[in-house]
Chains A and B, each alone.
Chain A
Amino acid sequence: MGNETVKTDTAILEQLNEPDAIKILVTLDEQGTPHPTPKGSLHWDGERIVSWEILESSRTNRNLTRAIWFEKPIAILLLTSKKQAYKIAAKPIRNVVAGKEFTRYYEEAQQRRGRAIAGVWFFEPTGITDQTPATRIAQEQKAHPYFVHLDQLAAKEPQ
């Protein structure tokens, strides 16, 4: 009961492509400590989630390498312009650092952001959870009706 996770929902994943969306990528370091970082390049290409890595030596890039090596999960927090929030669990499936496919992203990044990129990561979504506060409150109130302070339920005037 409670917070439902769906495997994939294309309509939600497509919201990664909204220009005003806020996207936070969370990876795990060697000790298992979560490392969140804003990742504006995260987008859905119709088949996979894609992100660009600007800094080859960044903690995120190292954590993602560790994740693809040892099948560690990553998560994306998506905040849409309509004030909806989603947690997208995913796993890295490919890191492209060379070749024509890399060149295509490299040129696109230079054109759009004026920056060279170090690599491109592809992710497969493994679960999406609605984290929108209003949705979560409604879900939890339904699932756990006892988890409430009684003053919130008190009548304004005793009958």
Chain B
Amino acid sequence: MSLQRSSLNFEEVRAKYPDFPPLVMLKIDIHRRGLFYADAALAAFNPARHQTGGTHTFGTRDGKLTGRPESIYLRDGTLVLATPSPPEQSPYGIDFAEGKLVITDQGEIVEEAFFWDKPDFYDKRTSNGVLMQNLVSARPQRLFVIPQRFCYFWSDGGGCKFCDIVNNLKQQRAEISMQTKINPADLREAISEALKEKGRYTAICLTGGSDFRGDDAFDKETEYYIEIMQAIGECFSVKKFPSQLICTALKKEQLQRIYDQTGLMSVTMDIEVLDEEQFNFICPGKAKWIGYQEWKRRLYDAVEVFGENRVNTGIVSGTELVAPTRFKSEDEALEIVLKEADDLAAHGVSTVNMIWQPRPNSDFAKAQNGSLEYYVLLAKGLQDIRRKHNLSIDFDDYRRCGNHADSDLARVF
């Protein structure tokens, strides 16, 4: 039996939810369906001025890594974080018409768009000769460090089914000489260089693959993040600076070490799926090494270490709908997911959603993501829960991150 999904198109959803911002709705739909760059858009793209993709954690939806724009943003500052998709996924077009970059749907212009500007440090090299963009990548207002690109869950047969991190790393190694791990001294040079660009960045984010090695599980991951964050901290004049670590659900003692020994201000431990049964199916490595209920408990512990409004978890929304899901409809999934998010929020943990973008080098490559209406209701529901529990999401909002439609909504509250 196929799962019951909403069949409303963009205009129908827009008409049904007039209080939902259309620009954020458009972002959601682009994240769902992906995009493609028309020849005229690529002709307008200038790699010397605009940011080229290829250095991020995950691969693209059509499997091609380099040579194209990183992504776009909209006229209200909303970021779109989508990669080119194959035509069968009905992607939005990015074209150049009427003297400007535009977004098209079925050939019709629906909005204006803007390329991301290339960071000044991107083509520079460290004294060891490492290309800085391979150490630090950027979003329009965020520095992104991926110290460890290998996920050890994959070595154990436990990689998350939606994820392509290790396959993407293999491609990055082959095509752009990407390193698996980075040298803290190189990173310090790159961050220091990046900070010379005035007004460019508002936050630093670290993330990477899980590493369960160590005397206690994940001690290796903990120690490496401390080493990396200390190197970054040498670039700042204050002890604590706007920063976010997206890591495995570490134990309270491990989190306390990171908090005490580095400038880190906030932590994100992505549970990926807000349903225990689906979590066990989709994230076997996380289920084996930590478990769903323990993951939640460690999130609550993190609030005690980092404080309120400094801890959240991410979900790759839409994966919970992939067969063999226990959900019979999107409505049922939505109810369960929001109930779980409400439980987390009652303990001071915010939930943000990443709209799942199926990638060819993942187990879920051929599966279908959720409907636009599902994602609109999810985004609204998650932000409503934050308001109900008086939770702020400043450290993971439209600007510090830009990957979560639900935290985009926090801009007006």
Chain A: residues with CB nearer than 8 A to chain B? 30, 56-57, 62-63, 65-66, 68-70, 93-100, 102-103, 106-107, 110, 116-117, 119
Known interface pairs A98-B73, A98-B140; A69-B412 also in contact (CB < 8 Å): yes
| Interchain CA distance A106-B199 in the complex, whole Å | 6
Given contact pairs A65-B411, A66-B412, A99-B114, enumerate 18 new A-B contacts (beta carbons under 8 Å). Answer: A57-B394, A62-B413, A68-B23, A69-B21, A69-B23, A69-B24, A69-B412, A94-B75, A97-B141, A97-B399, A98-B117, A98-B200, A98-B399, A100-B117, A103-B197, A103-B198, A103-B199, A103-B200
Distance from B51 Cβ to chain A, minimum over Cβ atoms (Å): 10
CB distance from B205 to the nearest CB of A (A): 15
Main secondary structure on B side of the interface with A: loop
For A95, the chain B residues whose CB sits under 8 A away are 75-77
Is residue B22 within 8 Å, beta carbon to beta carbon, of the partner chain? yes
Closest to B22 in A: A69
List, in ascending order, chain A residues with CB within 8 A of B116's CB.
98-99
Question: Cβ of A107 and Cβ of B199 under 8 Å apart?
Answer: yes
A98 to B197 alpha-carbon distance, docked (Å): 12
Flag if B199 contacts A102 (CB, 8 Å).
yes
CB distance from A61 to the nearest CB of B (A): 8
Which residue of the partner chain A has the closest CB to B392? A57
Structural contact, A98 and B141, CB atoms closer than 8 A: yes
Contact of B75 among A57, A93, A99 (CB under 8 A): A93
Which B39-94 residues sit within 8 Å CB-CB of chain A? 49, 73, 75-77
Report the minimal beta-carbon distance from B336 to chain A, rounded to whole angstroms: 29
Known: A62-B411, A98-B141, A106-B198. A68 touches B76 (CB 8 A): yes
Give the size range of B's interface with the partner. Answer: 20 to 34
Q: Least Cβ distance of A57 to chain B in Å? A: 8
Residues in A with CB closer than 8 Å to B22 are 69
Q: A97: which of B21, B24, B77, B394 is its contact (CB, 8 Å)?
A: B77
Which residues of B sit under 8 angstroms from A68, Cβ to Cβ? 23, 75-76
Interface string of B100-140 (1 = CB under 8 A from A): 00000000000000101100000000000000000000001
Contact A99 B140 (CB under 8 A): yes
Contacts of A65 in B (CB 8 A): 76, 411-412
Q: How far is the CB of A107 from chain B (nearest CB, A)?
A: 6
Give min CB distance, B302 to chain A, whole Å: 24
Q: Which residues of A contact B411 (CB under 8 A)?
A: 62, 65
- Residues of B near A62 (CB, < 8 A) are 411-413
Q: Which residues of B contact A57 (CB under 8 A)?
A: 394
11 A–B contact pairs at CB < 8 A?
Answer: A30-B412, A62-B411, A68-B23, A68-B75, A69-B23, A69-B412, A94-B75, A95-B77, A98-B73, A99-B140, A117-B199
CB distance from B394 to the nearest CB of A (A): 8
Q: Which residues of B contact A103 (CB under 8 A)?
A: 197-200
- Closest B-chain residue to A109, C-beta based? B199
Q: How far is the CA of A99 from the CA of B114 in the complex (A)?
A: 10
Alpha-carbon separation in the docked complex, A69 to B198 (Å): 28
A83 to B24, CA, bound (A): 43
CA distance A30 to B399 in the complex (A): 22
| B-chain residues with CB within 8 Å of residue A117 when the two chains form the complex | 199
Q: How far is the CA of A106 from the CA of B77 in the complex (A)?
A: 16
**Residues on the A chain within 8 Å of B197, using CB:** 103
Which listed residue (A30, A107, A119) contacts B77, Cβ 8 A? A119
Shortest beta-carbon distance, A63 to chain B, in Å? 8
Find chain B residues with CB under 8 A from A30 CB. 412
| B contact residues around A97 at 8 Å (CB) | 77, 140-141, 399
Chain A residues positioned under 8 Å from B49 (CB to CB): 100
Q: Which 4 A-B pairs have CB atoms at the shortest separation, nearest pair first?
A: A98-B140, A106-B199, A69-B21, A99-B117
Query: B residues within 8 A CB of A116?
Result: 199
Expressed in whole angstroms, the Cα–Cα distance for A119 and B116 within the complex equals 16
CA distance A5 to B75 in the complex (A): 28
Chain B residue with Cβ nearest A97: B77
Separation of A65 and B49 alpha carbons in the complex (Å): 28
Find the B residue at minimum CB distance from A102: B199
Residue of B nearest to A68 (CB): B76
Instruction: Give A93 to B76 CA distance when docked, in angstroms.
Output: 8
Bound Cα distance A119, B78 (Å): 13
- Bound state CA distance, A97 and B197, in angstroms? 14
- CB-CB < 8 A to B200: which residues of A? 98, 103
Q: Is the CB of A69 within 8 A of B76?
A: yes
Proximity bits, B193-236, A CB within 8 Å = 1, else 0: 00001111000000000000000000000000000000000000
* Shortest distance from the beta carbon of A85 to any chain B beta carbon, whole Å: 30
Indicate if the CB atoms of A110 and B198 lie closer than 8 Å: yes
Residues of A within 8 A of B199 (CB): 102-103, 106-107, 116-117
A69 to B76, CA, bound (A): 8
